[in-house]
Structure 1
Amino acid sequence: MKKIMAFTAVLFAALYTFAQSLSIESVCADLSRNRITKGDFVQEKTLSKTGKTLRSNGKFIFSTEGIVWSTEKPFPSTLVLGEDYMVQIGADGSRKVTDAKGNDAFKSVSSTLLALFSNDVSKLGQNFKLVFSAGADNTWTVSLEPKDKTVASVMSSIVLNGKSSSVSSEISEIILNEAKGGAVLYRFMNQSHPKELTTDEKACFNNR
């Protein structure tokens, strides 16, 4: 019994020490070790005026080339985000390219996610007031409040929740809090880290 109690004490001490060592720098470093993260997402958008929640789901890709949201329900569509551009791909394959110039809120969200997966903590600090907190169960939260007044007039904060182990970190959800009171929640499941994109996935970033 004493051996079991001693082992339990050592285990909890190790977990506590690991949680204490978590930081935005360590989380970004973990996330950047995987060039590609793929999985399923659920999006819930809460409308500020009515409180109604709109739900959609599909598959996502986070990569060093950009981000892909492939919505499957309620209607199929694909959204490709780069740091300075957005491509909307319809179910029929039609493409609409939008430049990020003049859309500070869009550019802010895109650059934030790309910075996280590129281990560029300094860029996050340039654009946001950053607060990082870690839980005893190895969960963590990053709260990002935009410094730019134009962005803040549209989006009050971005909150990222995730979990880390001794070998990796994963983002479990992202919450975009709108300045007018609405919010968009993304939940991520079934994450994997392939070494290469498929031919179809690479095509999403081509022919902008």
Structure 2
Amino acid sequence: MAARRAAVAGARLGRVAPGSSILFLCDMQERFRPSVAFFPQVVAVAARLLQACRELGVPAVVTEQHPRALGPTVPELGAHDLPKHPKTCFSMLVPAVEAELRARPGLAAVLLCGIETQACVLSTALDLLERGLDVHVVVDACSSRSQLDRLVALGRLRQSGAFLTTSESLILQLLGDAAHPRFRQVQQLIKEPAPDSGLLALLGGPGVLQG
């Protein structure tokens, strides 16, 4: 029994809490709108998660890939009041974002949404994992132009140690208790199921999201 408790204590459980989490919103920009699969649905899910994070006091970081060429962050994400960190590298961990991380010494978990899964999301996750942070990839808020790239990248992320999860699961973990003072406001955000972002059709049975 003692050995079992020790094993559980040493395991990465992937718990999240508002005071030790941050939301990363990666490159949800206008030029990707026509080419990334399920773009409107993925942005809608990310917007819902951002709203929940605002209610619960979870900070958020937004990046834009080469914005002069790829345009601004789409308005429906609801991130108009957040700084947009421009980048050309695939990882979100540009100096300004690194500074945000350093300013939060109690940070334990990053909730990661965005595009494209096999490029900027993957590179960001690997950099964060290398720094010892838990990474929760929000599978219904990540996509790619190629759905094969999207699916294989999710498997790659899991192999590397990221947690694959959904927006509603994360929101409920952050909330933690129906007695939370913001429960009713957050409950309204998840009253309707998240829009289908194509994952069920992709999986078609056992796949990267299963054990």
Question: TM-score, with normalisation over the residues of structure 2?
Answer: 0.29
Asked which structure has the greater CA Rg, the reply is 1
Whose strand proportion is higher, 1 or 2? 1
Question: TM-score, with normalisation over the residues of structure 1?
Answer: 0.30
Whose helix proportion is higher, 1 or 2? 2
